[in-house]
């Protein structure tokens, strides 16, 4: 038996594939690639596939982890090559290796938020307005929650879950690189951060979100 960690990317139209459909897609790709998956025992055996931190719908992932358990060792290069032949457009296995990182160590996530500013100076002015809102009481976002069976709007202060951000030029315009809380019990969806920024400083004409890495509490990459 062998535990394997695969990093894959989810780009372009694949970002609109839900997490449940992604699980089905990768499970089928693994079977088509004839990977010797290990199955649980009992009345309802199922393959061991684990996604430590599922990616929200509509967001790209540039280095997403997938944990597999195999019945017998498989060369890592051959494993990635076989999967890539079976995966659809937008999904690609980047690398495989021995699984040694504990998913419980994941505390942060690095994101790139792309905005279509024509000039970096315009983005800096826009972000300065957001910083002003932060100093004057925090960045507030609204999300839909549940109260009993009813759906209600809940205010969220996203400033306490935003650990770092910086602007840099990008091919799409300007990228806001930020590090956000990403724990199982306390996590910030970057779409909420965007909503708070838009409320404070106005919405740019075009934007998209990509998760670039999962990190430990000290900011080092989780592997």
Residue 163, domain CATH: 3.30.70
CATH number, residue 94: 3.30.70.580
The stretch 30-56 carries a mean pLDDT of 86
Q: Do 67 and 127 sit in the same domain of this protein? A: no
7 touches 65 (CB < 8 A)? yes
Give the N- to C-terminal CA distance of the chain in Å, as an integer: 20
Residues 163-222 have pLDDT tens digits of 878 888 777 678 888 999 999 888 888 888 888 777 777 776 667 899 999 999 999 999
Q: Do 95 and 148 sit in the same domain of this protein? A: no
Task: State the residue range of the domain holding 35.
Answer: 2-100
Q: Do 94 and 116 sit in the same domain of this protein? A: no
Q: Do 159 and 196 sit in the same domain of this protein? A: yes
Q: Do 206 and 136 sit in the same domain of this protein? A: yes
Q: Could you tell me the two tokens for 3?
A: 């535990």
Specify the number of domains making up the chain. 2
Q: Do 110 and 200 sit in the same domain of this protein? A: yes
Q: Do 112 and 206 sit in the same domain of this protein? A: yes
Q: By C-alpha distance, which of 94, 12, 7 is closest to 53?
A: 7
Strand partners, 150: 147
Place of tokens 């002015």: 125
Look at residues 100, 123, 150 and tell me which one is the last residue of a structural domain.
Answer: 100
Residues 134-163 have pLDDT tens digits of 666 567 777 776 777 777 777 777 777 888
């Amino acid at each position: 038996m062998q535990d394997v960690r695969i990093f894959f990317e989810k780009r372009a139209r694949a970002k609109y594939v839900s997490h449940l459909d992604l699980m089905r897609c990768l499970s089928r790709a693994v079977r088509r690639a004839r990977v010797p998956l290990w199955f649980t025992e009992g009345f309802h055996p199922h393959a061991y596939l684990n996604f430590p931190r599922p990616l929200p719908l509509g967001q790209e992932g540039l280095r997403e982890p997938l944990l597999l358990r195999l019945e017998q060792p498989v060369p890592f290069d051959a494993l990635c090559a076989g999967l890539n032949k079976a995966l659809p457009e937008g999904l690609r296995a980047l690398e495989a290796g021995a699984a040694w990182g504990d998913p419980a160590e994941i505390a942060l996530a690095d994101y790139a938020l792309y905005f279509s500013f024509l000039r970096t100076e315009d983005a800096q002015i826009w972000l300065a307005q957001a910083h002003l809102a932060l100093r004057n009481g925090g960045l507030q976002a609204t999300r839909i929650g549940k109260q009993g069976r009813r759906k209600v709007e809940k205010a969220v202060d996203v400033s306490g879950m935003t650990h770092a951000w910086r602007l840099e030029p990008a091919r799409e315009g300007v990228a806001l690189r930020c590090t956000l809380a990403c724990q199982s019990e306390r996590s910030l969806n970057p779409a909420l951060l965007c909503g708070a920024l838009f409320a404070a400083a106005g919405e740019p004409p075009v934007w998209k979100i990509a998760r670039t890495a999962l990190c430990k509490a000290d900011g080092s990459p989780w592997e």
